Amino acid sequence: MKELNWYYPETLADTAKLVQQKNVFPHGGGTGLLLRKLSAVDGLIELSQLPLQRIKITGDFIEIGGICTYGDVISELMKTDPEHILVKCLHHSANTPLRNRITIGGSIAMFPPWSDLMGALIALDAEVKLLGKNSGDFPISEYIKDKNLHSESLITSVKIQNLPWRSAHYREIRTKSDMPIFNHTVLLKTADGRIDDSRLITVGTASKFTRLSEVEEYLMNRRIETINPSEIEKRVRLKFSGSRIDDPEYVNLKAGIELGRLIQKALRS
């Protein structure tokens, strides 16, 4: 195995130059290295000395530094909003040692199909701040679709609006330690006994994630007591593929059933 060069920048300016070097990659929690072919890596940038492990909460926004871990996010948000969707999504993700290693920036950049994080960030219309070849703020939906934004760039933070949502999260797993086959994120706003807004995201589909627009349309302005889980189920038409999916039709059926239950759970939150 060839020798890797390690870099330890102390400023963002130095980091911006390093991430644009060929075959040199950021190193945060290190969990992503398990999925990378190291023979194609010439150097690693150790990020721990950079000011990227801060979580800033204001009345309008929450900004999370790129090297904050899942555990950091859970601990900080529990102080101010224990019902926040990010707490619900990340609390059961992976195991405790990994939650204390996996970074927010790395998880966004990799977006594995079992991600518990991404559904919430997509639903919350998050923005990522990039440093390097592509510097600036970008909607997370654009970052996911445009692979050019990943090139020679580092996620320094992610920002979401600090708004009150009723929320719930579901993971389809076989065992407690299993990675989810799919997961649902539900955000709801209610007013005068009706659904005022909804954002429903499923992660793990053939297209990586799917927004359940047809169900959102069904819910819009509907009185809460008239919401029918069977009407939700028949509006769920998700496509699944891959080695972990034995029966795509069954998984879609299960996803519809669980979404109906999850919406009811969010309304009780």
pLDDT in tens, 23-47: 999 998 877 766 666 777 899 999 9
Q: What pTM was computed for the model?
A: 0.94
Residue 23: Cβ-neighbour burial (10 angstroms; 0-12, 13-18, 19+): exposed
76 by DSSP, 3-state: which?
Answer: helix
The pLDDT, as a whole number, for residue 3 is 82
Per-residue pLDDT averaged across 235-264, rounded?
96
Amino acid letter at 43? Answer: G
- Residue 171's CB: how many other CB atoms inside 10 A? 20
Per-residue pLDDT averaged across 88-102, rounded?
92
What is the pLDDT of the chain when averaged over all its residues?
95
Give the C-alpha separation, 93 to 102, whole Å: 10
The pLDDT, as a whole number, for residue 232 is 98
Q: Are 198 and 218 in contact (CB under 8 A)?
A: no
65 pLDDT more than 80:
yes
As assigned by CATH, the class of the 55-161 domain is alpha beta
CA pseudo-torsion sign 51, 54, 58, 62: positive
230 pLDDT more than 90:
yes
Catalogue the E-assigned strands of the chain.
Answer: 5-7, 24-27, 43-46, 55-57, 61-65, 127-132, 136-139, 153-161, 166-171, 183-191, 194-205, 208-211
150 pLDDT more than 90:
yes
Element (H, E) at 119: helix 118-123
What are the domain boundaries of the chain? 5-46, 55-161, 166-268
- Phi and psi at residue 204, in whole multiples of 5°? 110, 5
Give the C-alpha separation, 264 to 259, whole Å: 9
Of 72-86, 95-109, 110-124, 173-187, where does mean pLDDT reach its minimum? 173-187
48 pLDDT more than 90:
yes
Amino acid letter at 49? Answer: Q
- pLDDT category of residue 269 using cuts at 50, 70 and 90: confident
54 pLDDT more than 80:
yes
1 pLDDT more than 70:
no
Q: Architecture of domain 166-268 in CATH?
A: 2-Layer Sandwich (3.30)
172 pLDDT more than 80:
yes
CA pseudo-torsion sign 246, 250, 252, 254: negative
The pLDDT, as a whole number, for residue 175 is 78
193 pLDDT more than 70:
yes
